[in-house]
Amino acid sequence: MTSASEMASLPIPEWQFDSTALDDRLFDLSTIEVDYAVKNVFNRLRNIFQRVRNIPFPATQLHDLTCFVIHRLLLSALATTISLPSPMTESIRYGIILYMFIAQGPTYYSHAVILNTILLRFMENLEHLASTPRVYDLLDVWFAAVGMVASAGTAHHQQFMKRARDVAAALQLESFGDTLIHIKSVLWLEKPQCEDLFRSHWGTIFDHTDQSEVSDLSMSVSPYSSSVEYI
């Protein structure tokens, strides 16, 4: 009898797509050192997202893709026993998992503990990454964007907002339009209202007034505060 973990590791139809990027304007992950297992998931997932931009992508298929990707990334993390993976590898790993949670929407969360555990691992590795000298790039914009949305309604949200402000200042981003170009060049699934969801968080970054609360729309993705699916 096939176990749940074995079923989760079986490739879904979309996974058979060529992993070669269709758009050479996208962020090139080959320029940085990332473990193959994570890089392979990133490249294949991004290629899937590009291919479904102009065709219907049923919720059931997205759910299957979400389950497959999350299990694959978590299993490859457990399989890494020879040496500790780099903070960059782990930041991308947990960033992808969080993004899949966001793309799927609140209906996927079985309970808040799962998301919170992944969020904490994401934060820990971003902190390790920040401890080494490096220049902010497009990937940092994506990290901050995913972190802000995933942490909505938690005590960690302000920390990601600070990170987003630092990244925006370093890269001289002045509007959400500029920021969205960077986010989409890394990993992005076109879904109705998804852009509005991310805009609601970045709006507080580019609005220089003191805003300690995010809008109802931006809070809606978090399993901590609402079960309404907006994306």
Quick one: pLDDT at residue 4? 43
Quick one: pLDDT at residue 115? 87
Quick one: pLDDT at residue 99? 97
Contact 187, 49 (CB under 8 A): yes
- Express each pLDDT in 13-71 by its tens digit: 667 665 565 566 788 888 899 999 999 999 999 999 988 887 878 888 998 999 899 99
Q: Residue 126, CB half-sphere, CA atoms under 13 Å: how many?
A: 24
Quick one: pLDDT at residue 10? 58
Quick one: pLDDT at residue 213? 41
Contact 71, 9 (CB under 8 A): yes
Quick one: pLDDT at residue 54? 78
Quick one: pLDDT at residue 110? 57
Q: Which residues of the chain have pLDDT under 70?
A: 1-11, 13-14, 16-24, 79-82, 107-111, 208-231
State pTM to two decimals: 0.84
Contact 205, 168 (CB under 8 A): yes
Quick one: pLDDT at residue 51? 87
Quick one: pLDDT at residue 208? 61
Neighbours of 47 (CB within 10 A): 20
Q: What angle do CA 183, 190, 22 make, to 5 degrees?
A: 75
For 145-154, b where at least 16 C-beta lie within 10 A, e where not — what string? bbbbbbbbbb
